[in-house]
A and B are shown apart, each in its own frame.
Chain A
Amino acid sequence: MSVQVALCQLRPVLGDAAQNLAAHHAWLDRAIEHEAGLAIFPELSLHGYFLRDLTQEVAVPVDHQVVQDLVARSRDCSLVFGFVEESPDHRFYNSVVFAEDGEVKHVHRKVHLPDYGIFEEGRYFAAGNEIGVVQSKHGRFGLLICEDAWHLSTGWLQFVQGADALILPSASPARGVDTEESELSSQASWHTLVAAHALFFQSWVFHCNRVGFEDGAMFWGGSSVLDPFGDRVAHAGQDEELILAKMDTGPLRRARMATPLRRDAKPDLVRREIARLLRDPDALEAGKPDSDAS
């Protein structure tokens, strides 16, 4: 099985869904011209990132016409895009849709909302609480949005659910020129992260970051595709750019033969150990209420 994947590294306009929707259509036209079977857009590609109070104003439910308009395009090409989702009970999620054959196949709601430094997602968004995978005609995909991927547990959960590829839409702002390296420190961290995901989860990785500025913060682009050995097979620069890579099963098979990490994973051991830790209130440090801060 083989599919041409397009990463659409665009520059969303803050809070302007109509303009962004038109851009998505134009990028999809280009992707399809290049015979893409799957097109991936960055985090919040329909709405922009530093929305603050606009979050609630731009939010739409999945069945909204703006979303469905793009979903309809998935008859030509499967696609992943991001938007602010409003749930029936009026929570607001940072979500991505996987659409295929004119239908919503899966919605991933961002689980890990960064709320530190330049980020304030916890103020505006509700957190998703599921790390699933989607079975597509092109393979089995795990969707993780930006900060989700910084928690290795998420990728591991998709790894044990049999993901062939991890799709990581992001909106990563540029930070760190106080370095001697040739790239920003935020960019260097991401390169390590995506390579580690590909290598340790033996999956293709499609990282689609956005570009452009919002209130002085630059999103650095640098979208990339990594094969299941952790080698980068395609990458974008810092401007709007469409990059293509062919995903096929050959490298997946070879990587998993060379190092059978997936075969040897022990989810049952992890299940037992997590259950044990959750039973013992003193055993678990992460996520525990901070009762005795020193």
Chain B
Amino acid sequence: MSLPPPPRCQVELAERVLCAFLREETQKVGFQRAVLGLSGGIDSALVVELAARAIGPEQVLAVAMPYRTSHPDSLRLAEESAAHAGVALEVVDISDAADAHMAAVPGLAEDMSELGKLRKGNIMSRTRMITLFDRSARDHALVYGTSNKTELMLGYGTIYGDMASGINPIGDLYKSQVYALSRHLGVPQEIVDRAPSADLWEGQTDEDEIGHSYDTVDAYLHYSIDRRFNRSELIRLGFEPELIDRLQRRVRHNQYKRRPPIIAKLAARTVNLDYRYARDWGV
């Protein structure tokens, strides 16, 4: 039984809404400039295109942050993507900074277990976050996030690492919609064609790690989250019960990454529980 297709994306509409979003939400909080990490992958390539259109390429700083094990293509494609969007690129090699963190923990550098790889990956990701937020303070530039909705739902990202940002234009676009919008905005073909990867170690690909293709995951998430199909309806659509269970567990398990930390309630009004204001209130 064939699965339903991944969600569509009306690209002209999405472009218009997202550019307006970046422009307004940046300028409203007193920023003119933005900074974002460019990995050489499609998500950040899309965000830099949107950013350049929204606030002008001269207001955007892209930062490529290779680690010594990063694939050389990643830096080359980051350069290509920055050039295509017409924005300035700063290259910051994070190897020394990340290695210093790893060296500070006995045994971590040599640890090649799954957990060891995860911990080192998190350190790289958070080193990049530190780099971006430092540039943010230096240049008075807002950090644009590059996590898509598939990653946010699956928790496929490092909390306080690549998931950290000031505002995120693509957090409500599934990966398949990221592809559609990227093609529309002319993201370089080689980036579109490249197998998505966190590039934290050699040979890593998203779809291997997630265990399903993005099209399958996106179709599932779209029907279950956005269209609110229940389990039996999802099965009738062709999703295997095992897949439903596995993905549902994963979405649930990663809820903590999508929320600010829980605060022990003591007083009459507690931050975010019953002290509730829009973030825009602070403008």
Contact = CB atoms under 8 A, between A and B. Distances in A.
Interface stretch (B16-24, B93-101, B110-118): B16-24
B8 interface: yes
Contacts of A255: none
A178 B20 contact: no
A228 to B, nearest CB: 31
Contacts of B24: 212-213
A216 B20 CA distance: 10
A54 B21 contact: no
Interface string A181-222: 111100000000000000000000000000011111010000
A53 B277 contact: yes
Interface in B1-34: 7-10, 12-14, 16-17, 20-21, 24-25, 28
Instruction: Bin the interface of chain B by size.
Output: 20 to 34
Contacts of B226: 178
B237 interface: no
Chain B interface mostly helix, strand, loop or mixed? helix
A53 B276 contact: yes
B184 to A, nearest CB: 12
Contacts of B20: 213, 218, 238
B280 interface: yes
A238 B275 CA distance: 32
A287 B277 CA distance: 31
Interface in B129-183: 167, 177
A179 interface: yes
A180 interface: yes
Contact of A177 (B13, B25, B276, B280): B13
B17 A14 contact: no
A182 B281 contact: no
Contacts of B279: 215
B21 A178 contact: no
A216 B21 contact: yes
Contacts of A177: 9-10, 13-14, 17, 177
Nearest to B14: A177
Nearest to B276: A52
Given A177-B14, A178-B222, A213-B24, A14 B8 contact: no
B267 interface: no
Contacts of A50: 278, 280
Given A178-B222, A213-B20, A52 B12 contact: no
B10 A52 contact: no
A14 B13 contact: no
A179 B8 CA distance: 6
21 contacts: A14-B283, A52-B278, A52-B281, A54-B281, A174-B17, A177-B9, A178-B9, A178-B10, A178-B226, A179-B13, A180-B8, A182-B12, A182-B13, A212-B24, A213-B28, A213-B280, A214-B280, A215-B280, A216-B21, A216-B25, A238-B20
What are the nearest 3 A-B pairs in CB distance? A52-B276, A178-B7, A215-B278
